Amino acid sequence: MTDVRSARTPVADAVAPPETGPGRRRRAWLLAACVLLAVTVYLSLWTAYALNGLTSHGRYRQYPAGAAVTSMGAEFRLVSLQQTTQLTNSITGEITSPPVNAVFLVARVDVVRRSDDPDLFCSFAVLGPDRRIWEPNTAYVSRDLSSSCQREEMPIGRTQPLEVIFQVPESYVGELAGVAVNDPVSRAVRPVLTPP
């Protein structure tokens, strides 16, 4: 006869008695520590995100109308921001229209280089509600003024007029905050220019 208690069957192995004693307590404490660590990491990340700005224009600061802002070693001033449904190519005279339910915004920005900052980069975006942004229009429409600034071609202290064209849905035109100066190198608050 065989001893029933010593026989190993798959059913007996699957229904092992729960572990008791110090091993079970150690495993419970380890699990609790892991959960606590995960919650702490989550709350730290959420707090960092919240401190970075959860308002409608979190990482942006809107300046008074016509104010000049210094960033990247240059002074930026929004001279005008005009809405239009037609742009004229300065070379061919051809008229370009935006898609249906969209308008062009023509931003005239004066840039004055104040220092020899190697990170000077003229990049702009239109800021709308809920931090929605529109980058400059990529339509190839030649204009009389340049849409970008070349550091090498800008002597210190001389005003460089720029004309930046944006394509924005017509329904958002009344809710725009202004034109943001984007600094691709810095995580600082981005200035938002408004026309005089």
| Candidate from 5-9, 25-29, 49-53 with smallest mean pLDDT | 5-9
**What mean pLDDT is predicted for residues 42-68?**
75
Q: How many Å apart are CA 153 and CA 161, to the nearest integer?
A: 12
- Higher-scoring residue by pLDDT: 29, 189: 29
Quick one: average pLDDT of 130-152? Answer: 76
Q: Is the pLDDT of residue 54 over 70?
A: no
Task: State the Cα–Cα distance between residues 69 and 181, nearest whole angstrom.
Answer: 9
Residue 10 amino acid letter: P
Q: What pLDDT sits at residue 130?
A: 80
Mean pLDDT score, 8-19? 57
Report the pLDDT value the prediction gives residue 47, as an integer from 0 to 100. Answer: 81
pLDDT band at 32 (very low <50, low <70, confident <90, very high): very high
Q: What is the pLDDT confidence band of residue 41, given thresholds at 50, 70 and 90?
A: very high
Whether pLDDT at 178 is above 70: yes
Res. 131: pLDDT tops 90: no
**Torsion region of 65: left, alpha or beta (phi above 0 gives left; psi -120 to 50 gives alpha):** beta
Q: What is the pLDDT of residue 39?
A: 95
